[in-house]
Structure 1
Amino acid sequence: MIANKSIVLQLTTVLGLISVLFLSCGKQPLNSSEVDPWKKMELIVKSIPETHFSNKSYSVNDFGAVGDGKTSNTLAFEKAIKECAKNGGGRVLVPNGKYLTGPIHLESNVNLHLEDQAEILFSTDPKEYPLVHTSWEGTELMNYSPLIYAKNKTNVAITGKGTLNGQANNGNWWVWSGGKEYGWKKGIPSQNDPQNREVLIDMAERGVPVSERVFGEGRYLRPSFIEFFECNTVLLKDIKIINAPFWIVHPIKSNNMIIDGLTINSHGPNNDGCDPEYSQNIIIRNCTFNTGDDCIAIKSGRDADGRRVAIPSKNIIVQNCKMIDGHGGVVMGSEISAGVNNVFVENCSMDSPNLDRAIRIKTNSKRGGTTEDIYVRNIEVGTVRECVLRATMTYNVYGGQEGKFIPSIRNISLENIKVKNGGKYGILADGYKESPIQNITLKNVVIEKVDSLYSLKNVKNVNFLNTYINGKKVESIKN
């Protein structure tokens, strides 16, 4: 039965994607009256298959799990998941209680389901996390397993209203960031030591095979929380996630994923809420993000590694989400070397004095890549600290971020946006003289209060249509 459903799902996906491809052929300018990107978005949504599972259920308690918050349940989770998969799949049930465990590795056709009062507490002992093929800040490597990990799996889910607690605020993970605000002191090893981050980046630049980029013990690069690596047809539904070591939800090289109803509250270092990387056909909807870094950050690899993999992230859809704290609401970059296109954001609210920007694109001439066709509509913004839209080709957070790979940014549309306090700028954008940012359109946008209308450097064709900033109608800029 599962096999037959799988065939139907695959056929549905293929037919849907053929329709999308027809729409994509013969690209036209953003302002062409013949182009309706939102209809294209609807086709993408219809093309994404949903997960289906057998009605069999396997309680982790039946495999020896104890929900006392103290007993290690790593083996019990492993046994339950393997038994479920062996018998054709179904639901692995986590009953109410607190379950301490090491990493959880999922299998195809398995739905890990948490009851409402269930909480999974993840160990902060690095020795419990084996080396796996993963990614760190856009560079592939062999490193500590993510807390929840699936590689090359199909039809897999995590559901239920329980809580996933990474406990990173109580252990090693946050200290390893090297941030004094997270407990780091001089003499404590961190990811910033020369043999860690810098060595990994150098390996990628020299083309060292991923299998030889072995990190883990003694290297202090934190694992992601939830990572689906080269997976297809995935569902994350309703769960709460707190205290993540690093990036929180990380689909990498994955397709056809629905992330629905998540509540993410984690203010640690690099605690991006969701980071689709080299991934396509991803829906993020009905989620709340309250994070220590970007709420949503769409990625496609860093520098040479991104160009080696060369898979753009595209067809990313964000709907009905709430963004509270974070560096940005919906962000593209900075690990963006393989490019990003077809991003759709609609019906979201963003509001916090600790939210820096609503929409952000960040790249530089080491990253390169093309970011294009970004569509945003029906957004309510209360307060952002810096600006409503930020697009930069000179992102330089770590220093030394200049190279010979000139990026491109084009076709950004914001429509029906209401902003109470836009911070310093309505638009803050800087391109290169040889590669200006092109085609920014604001239509039916009202920014009630902002220090300056915009700051633009090497930007061409900025269209303000029925747009009012600080109570005045803004005229378009043609150059």
Structure 2
Amino acid sequence: MFTSGFAQLSPEAKQAKKEAILAAIQLPEIPVYEVSVINFGAKGDGKKDCKKAFDKAIQHLKKKGGGTLHVPKGTYLINGPIHFISHFNLHLEEGAVLQFGSNPEDYPTVFTSWEGTFVYNHSPLIYGKYLTDISITGTGIIDGEASETWLQWKPKETADKLLSRKMNHEGTPIKDRVFGNGHYLRPQLIQFVNSKNILLEGVQIEDAPFWCVHLLQCESVTLRKLTYDAHNKNNDGIDLEYTRNVLIEDIKFNNGDDNIAIKAGRDHEGRANAATPSENILIRNCSFKGLHSLVIGSEMSAGVQDVFVENCTAHGYLKRGIYFKTNADRGGFIKDIYIDNVSFKDTEDCFYITANYHGEGSGFNSKIKDVFISNIQCTSASGTAIVIQGYPESKVENVQFKNIHIQKATNGISITNTQHIDFKDVIIGEAATVPTAVK
């Protein structure tokens, strides 16, 4: 059914909502005290293991109540994770490279989440939990060094992935979901858990074992001016999970999977955490390059709402530009999504909104509604320009496409099990002019 006139925020209300998101975000307050990791025994020669030097420096700062740890120019081998403290800034000066070792035994098990299920697994390479006022700044590089090491676990992970999902569905106590040594779930590069007032700015992220930046149960987050060169399997750029009040801006993505993926837990466990959806997220002025630009799901069982995307540009081929993916295992909702002024080049599918991801599941249909997409340019869609797939008993509803131009598409539109879909000034292919006359 095609209709118009359903409710959405007015321009004034939308601006007020964005301003409210920004007002809820606080930059970290870091004490003025500063030290250099060199003074604690680190050597930037790419050979000496600097793990103990970083640990000593961070413990010193903890005793001082926090501060900034400077990493001067050089390559610092770190055989094990860096665990953050509150009121702490890790500052990578120009030419500084953190190069992490990849012996799994150097990475102890910590509380984490793996594809939407809480588990204990190898520590992410940079990690912190229950922290306030933390940041990573500068112009250096964080290198996971994973392409020849952790990446080899990808073909071996299936049994552990299925076990984690079984534990989720059966309600296994989290303390008993222990992976780590002897298992093959790759750790994230950077992960903060249940933390607030977070800033990541300026650094380059490379060669992650798994997801690049994963924020789990966090709030008041600013991610800006990051650059990516991360092309391993599952190298999502930014994953937000049960996270709220987030600004993502001026980021240059170039990574091997989703540029931004907004998530909120998987299946039974996610639905049990419905009080903490991912929400209040503003994404602006970003440069997309990778597999997909913006993804919501597939792990989104606690819900995703109030997401604003504006003034972004894609470079190079994307499999999908905008991709919402859920299935009947998930439940939850995706709603109140506003996407405006985004340009894509070549894609397989420009827009793909599906409640039947991988054709999996039963009994827990997700609700997708109130999605507003405007002022979009796309060079081509080798698959389908616009796909929307709901369920007969749980239709995708209240979706508006306004001022959309997809210059070329193999297939135009494929819409099933929907209601209240509104097209205004949508052109797929060349714009038609006046009708030709009979000769």
Output the TM-score relative to the length of structure 1.
0.87
> Which structure has the highest strand share of the two?
2
Where do residues 175-186 of structure 1 align in structure 2 (5 Å cutoff)? 175-178=152-155
1:296 paired with 2:260, answer yes
Corresponding residue of 2:436? none
1:141 paired with 2:119, answer yes
Q: Distance in 1 between matches of 2:24 and 2:115?
A: 30
Q: Which of 41, 48, 62 is residue 18 of structure 2 equivalent to? A: 41
**Secondary structure of the structure 1 residue equivalent to 2:343:** strand
Given that residues 239 and 263 in structure 1 are in contact (C-alpha distance below 8 angstroms), is that contact kept between their aligned partners in structure 2? yes
Closer/same/farther in 2, CA of residues 210 and 32 from structure 1, 3 Å limit: closer
1:191 paired with 2:150, answer no
Given that residues 40 and 53 in structure 2 are in contact (C-alpha distance below 8 angstroms), is that contact kept between their aligned partners in structure 1? yes
1:56 paired with 2:33, answer yes
Where do residues 367-446 of structure 1 align in structure 2 (5 Å cutoff)? 367-384=330-347, 386-396=348-358, 401-446=360-405
Amino acid at match of 1:165: D
Corresponding residue of 2:217? 253
Range with greater deviation from structure 2 (435-444 or 109-118): 435-444
Q: Distance in 2 between matches of 1:358 and 1:38?
A: 24
Aligned-residue sequence identity (percent) comes to: 40
Closer/same/farther in 2, CA of residues 312 and 381 from structure 1, 3 Å limit: same
In structure 1, the gaps of 5 or more residues are 1-27, 179-189, 475-479
Q: For each residue in 1:120-174, what CA deviation from the matched residue of structure 2 results, as whole angstroms up to 9, or x when unmatched?
A: 0001100000110001111111110000001000000001100000000121x11
Q: Which of 120, 125, 129 is residue 151 of structure 1 equivalent to? A: 129
Corresponding residue of 1:10? none
Given that residues 21 and 246 in structure 2 are in contact (C-alpha distance below 8 angstroms), is that contact kept between their aligned partners in structure 1? no
Q: Distance in 1 between matches of 2:221 and 2:367?
A: 27
Shift of 1:426: 2.1
Where do residues 50-129 of structure 1 align in structure 2 (5 Å cutoff)? 50-101=27-78, 102-129=80-107
Q: For each residue in 1:194-227, what CA deviation from the matched residue of structure 2 results, as whole angstroms up to 9, or x when unmatched?
A: 3x11111111111111111111001110001100
Amino acid at match of 1:417: I
Q: Distance in 1 between matches of 2:164 and 2:410?
A: 41
1:272 paired with 2:231, answer no
**Secondary structure of the structure 2 residue equivalent to 1:124:** coil
Q: Distance in 2 between matches of 1:472 and 1:306?
A: 44
1:224 paired with 2:188, answer yes
Given that residues 191 and 220 in structure 1 are in contact (C-alpha distance below 8 angstroms), is that contact kept between their aligned partners in structure 2? yes
Amino acid at match of 1:321: C
Given that residues 350 and 383 in structure 1 are in contact (C-alpha distance below 8 angstroms), is that contact kept between their aligned partners in structure 2? no
In structure 2, the gaps of 5 or more residues are 434-439
RMSD over aligned Cα atoms: 1.6
Given that residues 65 and 87 in structure 2 are in contact (C-alpha distance below 8 angstroms), is that contact kept between their aligned partners in structure 1? yes
Q: Distance in 2 between matches of 1:32 and 1:56?
A: 45
Shift of 1:392: 0.5
Q: Distance in 2 between matches of 1:38 and 1:445?
A: 22
1:306 paired with 2:270, answer yes
Q: Distance in 1 between matches of 2:339 and 2:99?
A: 37
Shift of 1:38: 3.3
Shift of 1:33: 4.8
- How many residue pairs match? The answer is 427
Shift of 1:31: 3.7
Q: Distance in 2 between matches of 1:333 and 1:417?
A: 22
Q: For each residue in 1:324-369, what CA deviation from the matched residue of structure 2 results, as whole angstroms up to 9, or x when unmatched?
A: 121x11000001111100111011011322x111111000000111
Given that residues 95 and 114 in structure 1 are in contact (C-alpha distance below 8 angstroms), is that contact kept between their aligned partners in structure 2? yes
Shift of 1:273: 0.6
Q: Distance in 1 between matches of 2:121 and 2:15?
A: 39
Closer/same/farther in 2, CA of residues 32 and 116 from structure 1, 3 Å limit: closer
Q: Distance in 2 between matches of 1:160 and 1:336?
A: 32
Corresponding residue of 1:340? 304
Range with greater deviation from structure 2 (54-63 or 414-423): 414-423
Corresponding residue of 2:429? 470
Q: Distance in 1 between matches of 2:133 and 2:287?
A: 27
Q: Distance in 1 between matches of 2:34 and 2:311?
A: 36
Q: For each residue in 1:363-390, what CA deviation from the matched residue of structure 2 results, as whole angstroms up to 9, or x when unmatched?
A: 0000111100110111111221x22211
Q: Distance in 2 between matches of 1:32 and 1:40?
A: 9
Q: Distance in 2 between matches of 1:45 and 1:255?
A: 12
Corresponding residue of 1:21? none
Shift of 1:45: 1.2
Amino acid at match of 1:366: D
**Secondary structure of the structure 2 residue equivalent to 1:88:** coil
Amino acid at match of 2:356: T
Q: Distance in 1 between matches of 2:399 and 2:217?
A: 29
Given that residues 387 and 427 in structure 1 are in contact (C-alpha distance below 8 angstroms), is that contact kept between their aligned partners in structure 2? yes
Corresponding residue of 1:4? none
Q: Which of 322, 325, 332 is residue 359 of structure 1 equivalent to? A: 322
Shift of 1:415: 1.1
Q: Distance in 2 between matches of 1:206 and 1:143?
A: 19
Q: Which of 263, 266, 272 is residue 227 of structure 2 equivalent to? A: 263
Closer/same/farther in 2, CA of residues 422 and 36 from structure 1, 3 Å limit: farther
**Secondary structure of the structure 1 residue equivalent to 2:17:** helix
Corresponding residue of 1:239? 203
Corresponding residue of 2:437? none
Shift of 1:35: 6.9
Given that residues 467 and 473 in structure 1 are in contact (C-alpha distance below 8 angstroms), is that contact kept between their aligned partners in structure 2? no
Corresponding residue of 1:9? none
Amino acid at match of 1:203: M
1:325 paired with 2:284, answer no
Range with greater deviation from structure 2 (303-312 or 159-168): 303-312
Shift of 1:473: 6.7
Shift of 1:441: 0.9
Q: Distance in 1 between matches of 2:120 and 2:305?
A: 28
Q: Distance in 1 between matches of 2:345 and 2:339?
A: 16
Shift of 1:446: 1.6
Shift of 1:82: 1.6
Amino acid at match of 1:139: T
**Secondary structure of the structure 1 residue equivalent to 2:239:** coil
Output the TM-score relative to the length of structure 2.
0.94
